[in-house]
Amino acid sequence: MYARRRRLYFTMMGICIALFVLAWGVVRIWSIPAAVGMCVVAMVLPPLAAIVANRRGPEDRWWDDPSGDPKSDEWWDELDGRKRR
């Protein structure tokens, strides 16, 4: 899952850079409004890429899920101030 999210993140960021470069290197010659529109789309992509890269997958362990190691879980519960059941 991590590799898929990372690949998608870098793909989205590559598209973002390509949009900026194409907008002001090529498209602005024919249409300034189209180049500005491409930059607006490119401006929205980095936050979306960060959201995609950091979302939790169905098999990802969440921060408070037990790890399966009783000693580790006991240690984390003690740090969090929780009582063990």
What's the pLDDT at 1?
63
In order of 29, 39, 69, the CA distances from 15 in angstroms are 20, 11, 42
* Cβ atoms of residues 67 and 73 within 8 Å: yes
* pLDDT, tens only, 3-13: 888 899 999 99
> Is the torsion defined by CA of 10, 13, 17, 23 positive or negative?
positive
Q: What is the model's pTM?
A: 0.65
What are the start-end ranges of the H helices in the chain?
A: 2-25, 32-54, 70-80
83 in a structural domain: no
Q: Per the domain annotation, does 37 fall within a domain?
A: yes
Q: Which domain holds residue 15?
A: 2-57
Q: Note whether residue 38 is domain-resident.
A: yes
Yes or no: say if 42 and 22 are a contact pair by the CB < 8 Å rule. Answer: no
pLDDT of residue 71: 84
Structural domain includes residue 29: yes
* Average pLDDT of the residues of the chain: 85
Residue 80 confidence (pLDDT): 72
